[in-house]
Structure 1
Amino acid sequence: MHDSLGLEPLVGGIPPIRSRRGPRRRRPAKLHADKGYDYDHLRRWLRKKGIRHRIARKGIESSTRLGRHRWVVERTVSWLAGCRRLHRRYERKTEHFLAFVGIAATLIGYRRLTK
């Protein structure tokens, strides 16, 4: 599946965000994305939801300006890809795969804390 097709379910599945004051926020305030998400229907959908977006445009600008925001996500994904079982996706059931993601995240966090 192309990444752009998964954006709406991903944003829709974000749980409420706890805040110090006021009600819980139901959606993020802004979204940074690369050229893979440069579609008018996605921009309109985000605008309708009240989410400010910063999406690099194909053929007009480079994605390098988004680098400082994307780097954290890319680094985390590369850490998880270092686990062979997750990288190859041996598990067919989603529950099993998510359990291994949790185990891998715990191990990565433990290694970072013990350094």
Structure 2
Amino acid sequence: MPLAVVISAANRNDHLTFEAVVDEVAPVAGPVGRPRRRPRKLHADKGYDYPACRKALRRRGIVARIARRGIESAKRLGRHRYVIERTLEWGSRFRRLARRHERKAAHFLGFARLACAVICYRRAVKLDLLTHNNPK
């Protein structure tokens, strides 16, 4: 499920918007107690292997699971990377987002958030159908 949407220029390196994306993630409510403000750990590929990214996570109390450039294989992130790639692919199914037609960034961000809402709605309906068809 998409947790946050942040847009930037296509020619901007991903690690420069890293903190904005982490801060955009909303608190996660559990079954009991206060909502957790931040995730416990964050998995990222080699594109985020910068000291600034690691420091930003450390300041927020998040464990960094970032592949190191030139040391670790990209295959180690396998199942974690699949989740991200799958979610990005869901967003690319919306033709309006596949190629940017809007001149204003605010309009594009609105459509991106709407696409995420539709993705979450479809997932919730699918989960609801699964739980109703298989009562415990």
Is TM more than 0.5 here? yes
TM-score bucket of the superposed structures, by smaller chain: 0.7 to 0.9
- The Cα shift of 1:27 comes to 0.9
TM-score normalized by the length of structure 1: 0.82
Deviation beyond 6 Å, 4+ runs, structure 1: none
Evaluate the alpha carbon distance shift between residue 3 and residue 22 of structure 1 in structure 2; reply closer, same or farther with a 3 A threshold. same
Q: Structure 1: where are the runs of 5+ without partners? A: none
Identity %: 51
Query: How far, CA to CA, are the matches of 2:60 and 2:23 in structure 1?
Result: 10
Code of the aligned partner of 1:106: V
Residue 65 of structure 2 aligns to a residue in which SS? strand
Q: What is the match of residue 61 of structure 1?
A: 72
Q: What is the match of residue 90 of structure 1?
A: 101
- The Cα shift of 1:100 comes to 3.0
Residue 54 of structure 1 aligns to a residue in which SS? strand
User: Which one scores higher on RCO, CA 8 angstroms, separation ≥ 6?
Assistant: 2
Provide, for residues 24-57 of structure 1, a one-character-per-residue CA deviation record: whole Å limited to 9, x for no partner: 1111110000000001121122112110010000
TM-score normalized by the length of structure 2: 0.70
CA RMSD across the alignment: 2.5
Q: What is the match of residue 48 of structure 2?
A: 37
Q: Is residue 2:119 matched to residue 1:109?
A: no
Q: What is the match of residue 15 of structure 2?
A: 4
Q: Structure 2: where are the runs of 5+ without partners? A: 1-11, 127-136
Residue 32 of structure 1 aligns to a residue in which SS? strand
Provide, for residues 41-74 of structure 1, a one-character-per-residue CA deviation record: whole Å limited to 9, x for no partner: 2112211211001000000011211120121221
